[in-house]
Amino acid sequence: MIGKKTIVVGLDGAHFELIEPWIEAGHLPNIERAVDNGVTADLHSVHPPVTSPNWKAYATGKNPGKLGIFWWENVDMNEERVYYPEQRKSRHPEFWEIIGNHSSAGVINVPTTYPPRNVEPFIVAGAPDADGSGYTHPERLEKELEERLDYRVTKSTPIKNQPQKAADEIADLIDLRFRTAKYLLREYGPEFLQVTTFYLNSLHHYFWNGNETLEGWKVVDRHLGEFLDQEYNIVLMSDHGSTEIDTVFHVNTWLEQQGYLTPDLSVSEAMERIGITTERLVGLSTKLGIQELARQTAPSWLLNRIPSNGGEVQRESKMSNLNWKETTALASGQGPMYIDRQVPDYQQVRSELKKKLMNLTGPNGTKVAADVHRGEEVYSGPYVEEAPDLIIEQTDGVHIQGGLGRDEVFSRPENDGWRGENKGIGLFVASGPDFNSERLGDVSILDLAPTMLHLHGCEIPHSLDGKVRNEIYRKSSDAFRREVVFNEQESMTPHDTQSPETDEEVQDRLKDLGYME
């Protein structure tokens, strides 16, 4: 017999580092209640500790080498291309689909779930990739949510231009996610429910431990109390953690100064000289109420060359602002670095870069990298050949900025927008009738899919990289006593649904939402 309903609350970017002072001060009594009565652990992300690929790794139980998703962007040095692998998001079954086929499962607002899959009885795809329509299965649910709850997927206020208004909107959106969860729980009664607060990490990034962030967490805490009162199995988890930024490392400026990268920024530099920057254009279009129109009508060749106030061009804009023929290495933000594998001394270059990065220190003497990994050391699967050649594991307090065009290698966070950065250790709490009540060691984000599948009486596909963490279950529970059963085959046909959006459209939304710099 399977135990109580399970509700998983996904808290993007959450870790005890941020919330423990608030718990001790009595601001988050229901989270404290879950921690005191449940099992807790540090939850380790896959590399790099970023929303994408970690939510997809969580959903599938598979590492990025099997998914082919290594950050918000992939880089192909041979094809001279920076792109978002949108079409790969739907190729692997997600564990809630398996639970939905076995009993019933509902999912709300998990990143990287757009376009929505056939989860039964429902899925509401999440930001930042989902947009204002086509985000539910079944399709009719979209109208129902909008009519009953005034549901919306994304925020409309640019956080850089109107921080307080954006923070208030985020708190409202977090509240809306939970009200939606309660409504769908009543109407559809799924045995498993996942509700995720994606924008919580936007608060971490821009406000860190400020009152704006605390207000968002208080909304989470208030709703959590109602779930705990029902004696459900409650899981709190995050895709990665967060930490306060002390130093910003402009990795591509460093690569340029070291002779590995040659930009071509003539157009962008000319725009900066005459005062045309992304921040000014976003601010103006927001004031005029034409932000969406401006994005749709401006030609991509122009948008890709508009710098930020710091002179940087970012993400897919790198394609238009890089001299590929004279570039040996190019980095994304937050860790991934790609090296031209056609150079005759490729392995020597990779070893040289790793050594230099491991020895590099910032202005305050702190090492930039806690470690530097080769791609094949941390990934496995058919996409390893497309993986970053090196992954810089950021030291806590260091934010790696991946744009092109900055003059300085290091800067202060107050000059660059973000106050909080991701880190590889997130949060795990499990409280309820089927869960233990003790402190565990480390848990991998890849362990959660098989652990949830087993809790709900499902067979575990052999293709999963994680393992069932039996010590999480209470010894008197059915899950603890029941044998883990594996399945040689995936329990359903993998999807291969192509999003109608282009790489540029996806990246534009990430930027507009203020989730990426």
* Span 441-496, pLDDT tens digits: 899 999 999 999 999 999 999 999 999 999 999 999 999 999 999 987 764 444 44
Q: Rounded to whole angstroms, how far apart are CA atoms 298 and 287?
A: 17
C-alpha distance from residue 147 to each of 151, 155, 483 (Å): 8, 18, 45
Q: Tell me whether the omega of the peptide bond preceding residue 138 falls within 30 degrees of 0, making it cis.
A: yes
Helices (H), 325-463: 346-359, 375-378, 448-455
CATH topology of domain 6-244+422-506: Alkaline Phosphatase, subunit A (3.40.720)
Domain 247-266+318-417 of CATH type 3.15.30: no
Q: Which residue, among 453, 401, 56, 409, has the nearest Cα to 257 in the 3D structure?
A: 409
Segment 404-447, tens digit of pLDDT? 989 999 999 987 789 999 999 999 999 999 999 988 889 999 99
200's enclosing H/E stretch is helix 200-207
- Per-residue confidence (pLDDT) for residue 278, from 0 to 100: 53
- Per-residue confidence (pLDDT) for residue 508, from 0 to 100: 53
Q: What percent of the chain has pLDDT over 90?
A: 77
The DSSP 8-state label assigned to residue 458 in this structure reads: P
- Per-residue confidence (pLDDT) for residue 9, from 0 to 100: 98
More reliable by pLDDT, 298 or 486: 486
381's enclosing H/E stretch is none
Q: Read off the pLDDT of each residue in 242-267 and give the average, rounded to a whole number.
A: 93
Q: Which two tokens stand for residue 197?
A: 């607060």
Is the CB of residue 92 less than 8 Å from the CB of residue 64? no
- Per-residue confidence (pLDDT) for residue 288, from 0 to 100: 58
- Per-residue confidence (pLDDT) for residue 279, from 0 to 100: 47
* 83 pLDDT above the threshold of 60: yes
Is the CB of residue 422 less than 8 Å from the CB of residue 441? no
Is the CB of residue 274 less than 8 Å from the CB of residue 48? no
* 325 pLDDT above the threshold of 50: yes
> Per mean pLDDT, which range of 101-110, 168-177, 260-269 is the poorest?
260-269
Where residue 303 falls among pLDDT bands split at 50, 70, 90?
very low
Q: How many CB atoms lie within 10 A of CB 4?
A: 17
More reliable by pLDDT, 318 or 397: 397
Q: Rounded to whole angstroms, how far apart are CA atoms 430 and 436?
A: 8
- Per-residue confidence (pLDDT) for residue 318, from 0 to 100: 82
Where residue 335 falls among pLDDT bands split at 50, 70, 90?
very high
- Per-residue confidence (pLDDT) for residue 280, from 0 to 100: 53
Q: What percent of the chain has pLDDT over 70?
A: 84
Q: Rounded to whole angstroms, how far apart are CA atoms 409 and 391?
A: 18
- Per-residue confidence (pLDDT) for residue 88, from 0 to 100: 81
41's enclosing H/E stretch is strand 39-44
What residue ranges of the chain are covered by domains with CATH 3.40.720.10? 6-244+422-506
* 363 pLDDT above the threshold of 50: yes
- Per-residue confidence (pLDDT) for residue 115, from 0 to 100: 93
Segment 105-118, tens digit of pLDDT? 999 999 999 999 99
Q: How many CB atoms lie within 10 A of CB 412?
A: 11
Give me the chain's average pLDDT, please: 88
Name beta bridge partners: 39: 430
Where residue 268 falls among pLDDT bands split at 50, 70, 90?
very low
- Per-residue confidence (pLDDT) for residue 4, from 0 to 100: 80
C-alpha distance from residue 338 to each of 75, 76, 386, 498 (Å): 7, 8, 9, 26
Q: Read off the pLDDT of each residue in 127-137 and give the average, rounded to a whole number.
A: 92
What residue ranges of the chain are covered by domains with CATH 3.30.1360? 247-266+318-417
Q: Read off the pLDDT of each residue in 158-184 and give the average, rounded to a whole number.
A: 97
* 192 pLDDT above the threshold of 50: yes
* 84 pLDDT above the threshold of 90: no
> Per mean pLDDT, which range of 55-69, 227-241, 497-511 is the poorest?
497-511
pTM metric for this prediction? 0.88
